[in-house]
Amino acid sequence: MAHPILDLFPAGAAVDPDGTLTIAGCRVDDLARDFGTPAIVVDEASLRARAREYRDALTTRWPNARVVFASKAFPATAVQRVMVEEGLGLDVAGGGELLSALRAGVDPALIVMHGNAKTTEELRIAVEARIGLVVVDNEDDVDRLEQLVPPGVVQRVLVRIVPEVASSTHPHVQTGQVGSKFGLTAAAARILIARIEASPVLDMRGVHAHVGSQIMDPAELAAAVAPLAALGTFPVYDLGGGLGARYTYDDRPASVDEYVGALLAAAQEHLPADAELIIEPGRSMVNGSAFTLYTVTTVKRDARTFVAVDGGMGDNLEAAMYDQRYEAALAGRMHDEDAEDVVVVGRHCESGDVLVDPLRLPAARVGDLLAVPATGAYTHTMANNYNGYRRPPVVFVRDGEARAVIRRETWEDLFGRDA
């Protein structure tokens, strides 16, 4: 019988007769040999299929619409390039993500730029690149843009509002409630909209809202549509992102069709039929297409059994920051029977460096490969150098071939900025 964890891996996952996990025709022991561990492994075909699923679900039902990938979920140029090749735009939230998007070959007109604290430098890059939409979050954004946009040029903007929608997600990823650092309440938004409409260099295109991230119920996301409509009639309504992704056996996020259906039902009720709709999937776009491959470095059987791997919070902060639950399997021993309850911990000098607790595994041994599925979102994004950790590579696999689209950091890289 197939291991139940395969349902959490990309569609290209399978198990060889000897019990070794494979992905898109590549054995994980070969990946570990060729690229080392830890490594973030992406099933390129699954990533592309997800992009097409989102694109088709939206545009076949609301032709004047576009999907823009929220790059912050996985800001690798290669990932952005896949989205561009599949017909999506890109949402960026900083200068680095914007420059990466341009390197990926996106049409600047399909870039949406976010941020509650955009710097003058970032806005200058956006204006000079002639990006499609800057989402203004406050009056300071408008002040800077009016100084940066040259004569004869008009920058299109959206205004981000607080939709006053509560969401059932971790407090650190709630964004739609009153008191959020993002956006403006309706009263403040109306004042800023009037100012932009009078600006000679800014084009007030529409409004934007975001409720939060890792939200399983699409009704919570669709609830932001009516507050957007209440601000007036505009050419563009950006409905944000936020659909949850599956991490564990118990997670049951809405499907893309269910999510888009809920948004469009609200749009049909509240918005002009000819308006352009934008959605910004991030986590749910990329999370299921990737997993992280580790090597077990120590096994300590004492008051509890600790299985320690060669990564941890240096390549995955989700568990520590958001209490995110993961599952995992010994990737070279998929046929072995579970034998013990363990805690999977990382190598970093922090008690909070725990990847999975608890977890049922076969009796682990030093040198075993451990695979953690559903790590496509916010792992590469938040990777760091704590304890002198070298950030891992990102490896694309497809049709039995593997290639590093981001190499592992070297020891020299760690000191490249030292004076």
More confident residue, 205 or 3: 205
Question: What is the CATH code of the structural domain delimited by 2-35+288-413?
Answer: 2.40.37.10
- Tell me the mean pLDDT in the region 171-184: 79
pLDDT for the residue 96: 97
**Percent of the chain topping pLDDT 70:** 99
Q: What residues are labeled active site?
A: 349
Q: Is 63 annotated as a binding residue?
A: no
Q: How much helix, strand and coil, in percent to the nearest 5, is found in the chain?
A: 30, 25, 45
Domain boundaries, the chain: 2-35+288-413, 44-284
Please tell me the distance from the alpha carbon of residue 72 to that of residue 381, in angstroms, as a whole number. 7
Q: Note whether 2-35+288-413 and 44-284 share their fold.
A: no
pLDDT for the residue 289: 98
Structure tokens at 29: 């022991």
Q: Is 378 annotated as a binding residue?
A: yes
Strand, coil or helix: 96: helix
Give the model confidence (pLDDT) of 317-364 as tens digits: 999 998 999 999 999 999 999 999 999 999 999 999 999 999 999 999
Cβ neighbour number for residue 342 with a 10 Å cutoff: 24
Pairing of strands 276-279, 26-27: unpaired
Please tell me the distance from the alpha carbon of residue 311 to that of residue 339, in angstroms, as a whole number. 23
The fold adopted by the segment(s) 44-284 is TIM Barrel (3.20.20)
pTM beyond cutoff 0.85: yes
Task: Label residue 130 by pLDDT band (50, 70, 90).
Answer: very high
pLDDT for the residue 166: 79
pLDDT for 181 beyond 90: no
pLDDT for the residue 174: 65
Q: Is 54 annotated as a binding residue?
A: no
pLDDT for 62 beyond 90: yes
**Percent of the chain topping pLDDT 90:** 93
Q: Is 409 annotated as a binding residue?
A: no
